Structure 1
């Protein structure tokens, strides 16, 4: 006997069914989770920032490595982009995404799984949390490890795409390789940063050993990416630092060819100034 009235048990079972249906459709949220369970879960307590409840649950043996569909815990665009619509979260990564550092440390003391540590580390990269990222590195997280279940990206690729200066500096200082590529179409972190016009990220990567004429991806080189996307300032900076304007991409030809195709006279002029030929 649980002492719970039969009507409540039946109602809870019915709402639980509705909740599981919402999970399968990718519509689970903190609100539906609260209604469905009638009592808090570790994920909900973490999302709410309830340190006392998290401590109590952990002390009572709550599974700190359990996964649950992403909770709609913030209107912040960067966090929603970081979690992804159908991704799942683990309490440790959820604490990072919601910026609950005290809860993060409570969970970290329970010796979470390697997967929990990795997911939390990638969450740190996406939310630019250098302090927690460095703590995780000290706990043994590999700065060059891909999260194969969510995004399939190297940490340095994420940081370059987001133009996260401090995170980039941390990763490079901690031994991140500069030429990883999880996506054969996008190419290296330098190409990603150049294509998005992130001049500071381009500079940092070059200062830390990224090969300026490294070839790969659909754009061929970082200069090719900058030319394709019309990032004139970055293209000029790359040329000044020795980028070869005549490397031919497998997909789009030379940088000059694509500048002319997309009618980018400014980039075309800069390329020709540095000896570009079509």
Structure 2
């Protein structure tokens, strides 16, 4: 599943999920299919994974943040919006908060004004 996600092969991802692939499997200590889809900027695959139970609160890497932080950092408005729509906590912080801040912090560093406004509109704590 991870390989199909990284390659952006929507049809293969769909077939694998239909065949019972675990959408929350962590093939490495630092990744999940959802995180890989976010990194690849594949909103169609992100949606497919979320629709099939991918956990948006799961991040095996305490240094790089969870799905919402990574989406905000990448500047991808569509994926950030999707994660907020399914209930991602706008104020969540990594275990190792000295390395990765909240989604608002990450967006302020790298993400762009549209994402900042979106996060603030969803109640992001700016303090």
**Quick check: TM above 0.5?**
yes
Match of residue 157 from structure 1: 35
Report deviation, 1:128.
1.7
Q: Deviations over 1:109-148 (max 9, x none)?
A: xxxxxxxxxxxx1111112212111211122210000112
Report deviation, 1:230.
5.4
Match of residue 109 from structure 1: none
1:124 aligns with 2:4: yes
Report deviation, 1:232.
2.1
Q: Which runs of 5+ in 1 are unaligned?
A: 1-120, 247-278
| Residue of 5, 17, 25 corresponding to 1:145 | 25
Q: Residue 133 and residue 186 in structure 1: after superposition, are their counterparts in 2 closer, same or farther (change >3 A)?
A: same
Q: Deviations over 1:61-99 (max 9, x none)?
A: xxxxxxxxxxxxxxxxxxxxxxxxxxxxxxxxxxxxxxx
* 8 Å Cα contact 1:196/1:231 also seen in 2: no
TM score, norm. by length of structure 2:
0.90
* 8 Å Cα contact 1:169/1:204 also seen in 2: yes
1:228 aligns with 2:124: no
Output the CA distance in 1 between the equivalents of 2:81 and 2:45. Answer: 14
Higher Cα Rg, which structure: 1
- Superposition misfits of 4+ residues, deviation over 4 angstroms: none
TM score, norm. by length of structure 1:
0.43
SS in 2 for 1:229: helix
- What root-mean-square deviation, in Å, do the aligned CA atoms of Structure 1 and Structure 2 show? 1.5
Output the CA distance in 1 between the equivalents of 2:52 and 2:115. Answer: 26
Structure with the bigger RCO (C-alpha within 8 Å, sep 6+) is 2
Output the CA distance in 1 between the equivalents of 2:111 and 2:52. Answer: 32
| Residue of 51, 57, 68 corresponding to 1:173 | 51
Aligned residues: 124
Q: Which runs of 5+ in 2 are unaligned?
A: none
Q: Deviations over 1:18-37 (max 9, x none)?
A: xxxxxxxxxxxxxxxxxxxx
